[in-house]
A = this chain, B = another copy of it.
Amino acid sequence: MNSTELWLEALMQIIPDETRIFTDRADLYSYSYDASFGTYLPEAVVQPKATEEVSNIMKLANQYEIPVYPRGQGTSLSGGPLPVKGGIVLDFSQWNDKLEIYPEDMMAIVAPGVLTADINNAALKEGLIYPPDPSSSNVSTIAGNLAENSGGPRGLKYGVTKDYVLGLEVVTPEGEVIRTGGRTVKNVTGYDLTKLIVGSEGTLGIITEAILKLHPKPEATATLMALFADLVAAGQAISNILRAGIIPAKLEMMDKACIEAVEAYEPQGLPTDVEALILIELDGHPQAIHDEILKVEDVCRETGATEVIRAKTEEEAAQLWRARKLVSPAIVRHKPTKISEDATVPRSKIPHMFQRLKEIRKKYDIDLVVFGHAGDGNLHPNIIADKRDKEEMRRVEQAVGEIFEAAVELGGTLSGEHGIGTLKAPFMEMELGAAGVEMMKRIKQSWDPKNILNPGKIFPEPGQRLVLTDD
């Protein structure tokens, strides 16, 4: 037998259930892509359902030096689960047999393949919430969210995935099983491996169980939309709301191009002659948010809002949010390829970032729309293109590079919530410097000396540059 036949046979010893191992080309193809760019065929796919299985697979992978890629539901926008160097994909989507809520400890313990929205739904039955709400939460797995440290609109008030992780069970790249953190809110025993592994994009360990922090469900919510004839005024309104001591649960914005796209796709009655709209949701005590929403309205009017719409019922609130939800389907209507960026800047620099994005749109003659979580500086400049048009994609690649430059120059970051993966790896040194990347690499090397676990992510290969085609 050759080496591949040998390790495949050993793999079948570890997973004694042939329905959980795939080696047919048609099956492998389903695991060759995610929601970003590029297709790469693995040699095998396994659906683990126990920590020991994962541990044994990693020991085997080290023995034969086979790359291993953990994968949830493949919703990554940065290439996290792509099997870029062949080898084994571990599909965790079927391992979802544990979802325990501990109301007394305001805590949940979950298996890696549980869908994020299911955790929130289970918490709600106990009067609690799991706050992180990436837009993929109905389809993405919790371990995928953990690996990427997913954000979402509620990040402004509640923080991101990392802020809700108390402890993990992790299989190391060499197959050891460790527990990090625990069931307590405070823990300073040694290095914070929990927060090191969350956001490490599956390169430092495989998450097989997570202990999550829950939060009491807010008593009430209030929603408001404000329209602005001027982009800078919208940015100033956001800043003034926060300066007034109000932290909304969500504070989203959409630019003129988004509004036009939505109105063309499914008319919501929004005026298309404004430059931007902001959408605000407050939550908390009913009296507190009643007072605060009036204050928000005043601030918006004082800062130059042309119109302010306050939802009077839950239906009206849902209607206002519908415009925001329609942005993604609306913008891909005239061209099939959406490049969704998440460059993030300090809040005070949002107007500057708008200006830079306007210049980039003009310079490279690209379809660029801007929406996102403006309250925390996490914008989503989206470029709409057609990946079959090579010339256009070259311009897009250059524009994306310049978006990253702008974010970093304004004191911001390449990625607020989507991760680095394969796509942004070439830009790491721009933000972190050679020494910063080097210190990260040392951790990776000390944990995974044979570079078995999710190779080709985060750290750029020599000469690697951004490629937004599937070739």
Residues of B within 8 A of A172 (CB): 435, 439
| Interface-located stretch among A84-92, A301-309, A361-369, A414-422 | A414-422
In angstroms, Cα B191 to Cα A420, docked, is: 10
Which residues 196-254 of A have a CB within 8 angstroms of B? 196, 198-200, 204, 215-217, 219, 239, 242-243, 245-247
Interface status of A180 (Cβ within 8 A of chain B)? yes
Other A-B contacts than A186-B376, A186-B413, 8 sampled, CB-CB below 8 A, are A105-B347, A160-B186, A162-B195, A184-B413, A189-B424, A191-B440, A192-B195, A217-B245
| Interface-located stretch among A61-69, A262-270, A333-341, A441-449 | A441-449
In angstroms, Cα B436 to Cα A417, docked, is: 28
Shortest distance between the CB of A297 and any CB in chain B (Å): 17
If A186-B160, A291-B285 touch, whether A196 touches B199 (CB-CB below 8 Å) is no
In angstroms, Cα B183 to Cα A346, docked, is: 6
A189 contacts B414, C-beta separation under 8 Å: yes
Residue among A196, A200, A445 having the largest count of chain B Cβ atoms under 10 Å: A196
A196 contacts B200, C-beta separation under 8 Å: no
22 contacts between A and B (CB under 8 A): A105-B348, A155-B186, A156-B185, A176-B439, A178-B433, A179-B432, A179-B436, A182-B431, A183-B346, A184-B376, A186-B378, A188-B199, A188-B415, A189-B428, A190-B432, A191-B440, A191-B458, A193-B436, A217-B245, A285-B292, A287-B287, A442-B447
If A216-B247, A219-B245 touch, whether A192 touches B196 (CB-CB below 8 Å) is yes
A187 contacts B445, C-beta separation under 8 Å: no
Interface status of A116 (Cβ within 8 A of chain B)? no
Residues of B within 8 A of A29 (CB): none
B413 contacts A185, C-beta separation under 8 Å: no
Interface size on A, residues (CB 8 A): 92
If A216-B246, A433-B179 touch, whether A417 touches B188 (CB-CB below 8 Å) is yes
Residues of B within 8 A of A151 (CB): 186, 188
A residues apposed to B, CB below 8 Å: 102-107, 127, 148-149, 151, 155-156, 159-160, 162-163, 172, 176-180, 182-193, 195-196, 198-200, 204, 215-217, 219, 239, 242-243, 245-247, 284-285, 287-288, 291-292, 344-348, 373, 376-378, 411-420, 424, 428, 431-433, 435-440, 442-443, 445-447, 458
Residues of B within 8 A of A159 (CB): 163
In angstroms, Cα B191 to Cα A189, docked, is: 20
B416 contacts A186, C-beta separation under 8 Å: yes
Residues of B within 8 A of A200 (CB): 191-192
If A105-B346, A287-B285, A346-B107 touch, whether A435 touches B177 (CB-CB below 8 Å) is yes
In angstroms, Cα B180 to Cα A314, docked, is: 42
Residues of B within 8 A of A439 (CB): 172, 176, 178, 193, 447
Residues of B within 8 A of A185 (CB): 155-156, 344, 376-378
In angstroms, Cα B285 to Cα A204, docked, is: 43
B189 contacts A431, C-beta separation under 8 Å: yes
B105 contacts A178, C-beta separation under 8 Å: no
B160 contacts A242, C-beta separation under 8 Å: no
Closest 4 CB pairs of A and B: A285-B288, A186-B416, A216-B245, A104-B348
Residues of B within 8 A of A417 (CB): 186, 188
Contact of A412 among B182, B219, B287, B438 (CB under 8 A): B182
Residue among A106, A188, A287 having the largest count of chain B Cβ atoms under 10 Å: A188
B105 contacts A344, C-beta separation under 8 Å: no
A189 contacts B346, C-beta separation under 8 Å: no
Shortest distance between the CB of A374 and any CB in chain B (Å): 12
Residues of B within 8 A of A187 (CB): 344, 413, 415-416
